[in-house]
Chains A and B, each alone.
Chain A
């Protein structure tokens, strides 16, 4: 059995000694497909400029993998391929192990290196849940306004206060009617009546279940949006994952430009389409008398304009956007497609309001944490600008265009952001860890060096101190290392720098079991027992001690794993794997070898 484990271990550890090819991974966006034609197109384009392709082929996940002989070729190729295939394909740089086919067939892969070893960007994003709830309340206040108007129930005022919507009436009867109406229409809302001096109020808030739903949705929507944005950047193997109830982890191996990434991730630009309020005077509003149901906005040139509070469609309902030029005026424009709900609302509103002006509001949210008097304070900044006001010439629905942007560049950026989707709630980057590729390589080299040096030192010590038995323990130690690497490769667990440290530590501790056993054997021999029975007794008596000692260390490793993030988890994983493999190699492994050497023979003395 020991032999089988060793062979299997060796087999799965094998991929780690092969070189990594600089490669490129091409993925298809939207309806584009990767097939034989794509493959030959890429190959031809590259060969035309004299870049040798080492290998090309489709991976199981449908992506096309192109291998190169050098990283210069790889860098040259990426621009070429991007130009050749166009917008619908994203090429990304990556490294691919150069494994022989029979190993690939077995499913063997090299260890998965963490960001701190291969270089890359890690960011932790916090989703502003208060804002998500407030946005939901804002949506409900619009819906309630529409409902009351439709049912001809006169209210004096609807306003949103933080996460509540307050509806004012001038008598109790209307208030109660409205309360029933709202309660029937929106079952997920909590209603509360309260009387003030001369006003009768309904205070509407989201039920706990609805709150949870809003938060869950905001997080999901943000993850989807961020994924779309990251995919557009062209990075191989991006990881975008929920962490806890309000955080998102984004990990981009190999990415090297944190500034650009943060710009793309953090941007929360979205559009809102609103009707202009033509019934009230803009001047009055500027002087502080903003009519209820409308808000005062400013155009890009500072011109004030009054818009209805009710939003026709928001960025959430945009399914696609592209940039181009308006065919009539030649101005930069963004062409927008809406989803079903958005299209229906747009059609109805434009139908009813032909000839009236409609405005496009560009909204950018930014949240930053500033230190005020030594305490972190969250500052939210919301930039709202009216980018265009145009008269509705004819009703429109699913597809339409927006003009009023200054440059084609701006139109293209906006289209990218709209296409990638809006964020359901503002986000803030609360942690960033970027590791440059040179540092990653240094860490691998230094880690490898310390493992080797540590290993050699311990091996020499054991061989000198326990002679033949020491050499057997050294074999077990080497086998232990192979097994750790094999298991890490099989599990595809992430190897981090602290993970390597964990391996180093395991090397030091793994001999412990053998030390325990060998000391016991020496004691038995000193007590005058025969060599064979001393070996027997030594292994038996040390066994429970070894188990007890290792289980307690395992407890510490499990605790580390459950609390730790990224690199620390890597340490816990290698420590735990190391403990398990070392018990196997140090007890069963050495026993097998020692039996081979001393078994079935009458030996007078042991070399221990």
Chain B
């Protein structure tokens, strides 16, 4: 079975349309990040979160009242997954140590039904949240620098810049998606964004590898033709791998449980964007930077020996 057989689409000819498409996506993403910001989870903002499971379905107003009675008027309460599970976000309070806030709230909720099960408590102090935000930003930066160096060494600097442009493109759009739809951005989502960097790059490298090989093999046609051929040749692989990855991610999204939702969503968005970007963004940015056949020819032996001479 074969889905794409001998495709020769003029993908690169449409690179200007793709450029506009990417620009619009980026504009929306960055605009949304600036205007709406991210719905940061308590991992970054600091705060307290309690998840409890009641033996029977419970009405939210009942929980709200029980908490209000104990002074938690501004707690944000929602069902989590099922109507038996309740997620409560607590605001810091002047009269209670923040570290024991969750214990008080839990005992208030025990008032409704003593059989209630404490499923999860997350408390993150404000200073820890700030550190995580900083570390997360740094981690992304380090990953990008590491990749820039590796691709620069293995290929050529324009390819390194091209792959990093594609990565920044993917990361911004993924984060922009979370901002636009105000999906909670927590630590697992950040990890997923970092994984997107790895994944999207994986795709890009495969395409670049083919471009390099074809530049050396195909003697006719200009750079755009060669790159177009390369993208076409790798197209079915790109789509198949993205397809299998999306298959498992959708399984994870549907069956992996509430906690892993954001994580799976970030990867799904990232993989879709990453697939698109490895076809268009990574390859066309190399064209824009004017890569030519001569840049990728293997260095001749003589040059090497000359370099070694004092």
A18 at interface by CB-CB < 8 Å: no
Identify which of A287-295, A363-371, A485-493 touches chain B.
Answer: A363-371
A458 near B257 (CB under 8 angstroms)?
Answer: no
A102 at interface by CB-CB < 8 Å: no
Contact with A along B62-88 (1 / 0, CB 8 A): 000000000000000000000000000
A512 at interface by CB-CB < 8 Å: yes
**In the complex, residue of chain A having the shortest beta-carbon distance to the beta carbon of B243:** A461
Q: Known: A505-B195, A508-B248, A552-B202. Contact between A523 and B233, CB under 8 A?
A: yes
Give A568 to B186 CA distance when docked, in angstroms.
11
A544 near B92 (CB under 8 angstroms)?
Answer: no
Give A562 to B263 CA distance when docked, in angstroms.
19
Contact among A259, A464, A501, A548 for B209, CB-based, below 8 A: A548
Residues 231-253 of B at the A interface (beta carbon under 8 Å)? 233-234, 236-237, 240-241, 243-249, 251-252
Sorting the interface of chain B by its residue count into under 10, 10 to 19, 20 to 34 or 35 or more gives: 35 or more
B4 to chain A, nearest CB (A): 10
Contact among A259, A465, A550, A563 for B135, CB-based, below 8 A: A563
Residues of B close to A558: CB separation below 8 A: 146
**In the complex, residue of chain A having the shortest beta-carbon distance to the beta carbon of B103:** A259
A606 to chain B, nearest CB (A): 13
**In the complex, residue of chain A having the shortest beta-carbon distance to the beta carbon of B91:** A371
A442 at interface by CB-CB < 8 Å: yes
A434 near B154 (CB under 8 angstroms)?
Answer: no
Residues of A close to B21: CB separation below 8 A: none
Contact with B along A276-296 (1 / 0, CB 8 A): 000000000000000000000
Residues 1-50 of B at the A interface (beta carbon under 8 Å)? 1-3, 6, 46
Give A476 to B201 CA distance when docked, in angstroms.
24
Give A368 to B95 CA distance when docked, in angstroms.
10
**In the complex, residue of chain A having the shortest beta-carbon distance to the beta carbon of B146:** A555
B187 near A567 (CB under 8 angstroms)?
Answer: yes
Contact among B117, B120, B128 for A431, CB-based, below 8 A: B128
A435 at interface by CB-CB < 8 Å: yes
B296 to chain A, nearest CB (A): 14
A258 near B206 (CB under 8 angstroms)?
Answer: no
B111 at interface by CB-CB < 8 Å: no
B184 at interface by CB-CB < 8 Å: no
Contact among B102, B125, B142, B202 for A512, CB-based, below 8 A: B202
B202 near A553 (CB under 8 angstroms)?
Answer: yes
Sorting the interface of chain A by its residue count into under 10, 10 to 19, 20 to 34 or 35 or more gives: 35 or more
Contact among B106, B120, B245 for A435, CB-based, below 8 A: B120
A71 at interface by CB-CB < 8 Å: no
Contact with B along A379-408 (1 / 0, CB 8 A): 000000000000000000000000000000
Q: Known: A497-B259, A548-B209, A568-B191. Contact between A457 and B122, CB under 8 A?
A: no
B189 to chain A, nearest CB (A): 10
B99 at interface by CB-CB < 8 Å: yes
A26 at interface by CB-CB < 8 Å: no
Give A553 to B147 CA distance when docked, in angstroms.
9
Residues of A close to B98: CB separation below 8 A: 368-370
**In the complex, residue of chain A having the shortest beta-carbon distance to the beta carbon of B98:** A369
B119 near A563 (CB under 8 angstroms)?
Answer: no
Residues of B close to A371: CB separation below 8 A: 92, 94, 126
A439 at interface by CB-CB < 8 Å: yes
B170 at interface by CB-CB < 8 Å: no
Give A429 to B245 CA distance when docked, in angstroms.
40
A507 at interface by CB-CB < 8 Å: yes
B97 to chain A, nearest CB (A): 4
B236 near A563 (CB under 8 angstroms)?
Answer: no
Residues 495-532 of A at the B interface (beta carbon under 8 Å)? 497-498, 500-501, 504-505, 507-509, 511-512, 515-516, 519, 522-523, 526
B205 near A556 (CB under 8 angstroms)?
Answer: no
B240 near A430 (CB under 8 angstroms)?
Answer: no
B187 near A568 (CB under 8 angstroms)?
Answer: yes
Contact among A262, A439, A455, A519 for B119, CB-based, below 8 A: A439
**In the complex, residue of chain A having the shortest beta-carbon distance to the beta carbon of B136:** A563
B123 near A431 (CB under 8 angstroms)?
Answer: yes
A62 at interface by CB-CB < 8 Å: no
Interface of A: prevailing SS:
helix
B264 at interface by CB-CB < 8 Å: yes
Residues of B close to A515: CB separation below 8 A: 237, 240-241, 244
B139 near A560 (CB under 8 angstroms)?
Answer: yes
Q: Known: A505-B248, A559-B139. Contact between A439 and B51, CB under 8 A?
A: yes
Residues 417-466 of A at the B interface (beta carbon under 8 Å)? 428-436, 438-439, 442-443, 446-447, 449-450, 453-455, 457-458, 461-462, 464-466
A575 at interface by CB-CB < 8 Å: yes
B256 at interface by CB-CB < 8 Å: yes
Residues of A close to B203: CB separation below 8 A: 549
Residues 250-302 of B at the A interface (beta carbon under 8 Å)? 251-252, 254-257, 259-260, 263-264, 267
B237 near A552 (CB under 8 angstroms)?
Answer: no
Give A295 to B114 CA distance when docked, in angstroms.
48
**In the complex, residue of chain B having the shortest beta-carbon distance to the beta carbon of A513:** B241
B176 at interface by CB-CB < 8 Å: no
Contact with B along A247-283 (1 / 0, CB 8 A): 0000000001011001000100000000000000000
A457 near B251 (CB under 8 angstroms)?
Answer: yes
B78 to chain A, nearest CB (A): 16
Residues of A close to B128: CB separation below 8 A: 124, 430-431
Residues of A close to B246: CB separation below 8 A: 508
A559 near B194 (CB under 8 angstroms)?
Answer: yes
Q: Known: A498-B191, A557-B198, A559-B143. Contact between A504 and B251, CB under 8 A?
A: yes
Which B residues contact A (CB, under 8 angstroms)?
1-3, 6, 46, 51, 53, 92, 94, 97-100, 102-103, 106-107, 117-128, 135-136, 138-139, 142-143, 146-147, 150-151, 154, 187-188, 190-191, 194-195, 197-199, 201-203, 205-206, 209-210, 213, 233-234, 236-237, 240-241, 243-249, 251-252, 254-257, 259-260, 263-264, 267
9 closest pairs, A vs B, by CB?
A556-B198, A454-B248, A430-B125, A508-B245, A259-B103, A508-B248, A434-B121, A553-B198, A446-B257
Can you pick out 26 interface pairs between chain A and chain B where the beta carbons lie within 8 Å of each other?
Answer: A259-B107, A266-B99, A368-B98, A369-B127, A370-B94, A429-B123, A430-B99, A430-B124, A432-B102, A434-B118, A434-B122, A436-B117, A442-B257, A446-B260, A505-B252, A505-B267, A545-B206, A545-B209, A549-B201, A549-B203, A549-B209, A550-B202, A552-B198, A555-B147, A560-B143, A568-B191
List 15 extra interface pairs beyond A430-B127, A556-B147, CB under 8 A. Answer: A376-B126, A434-B121, A454-B251, A457-B247, A458-B248, A508-B247, A511-B241, A512-B241, A512-B244, A515-B241, A545-B205, A548-B205, A555-B143, A563-B136, A563-B139
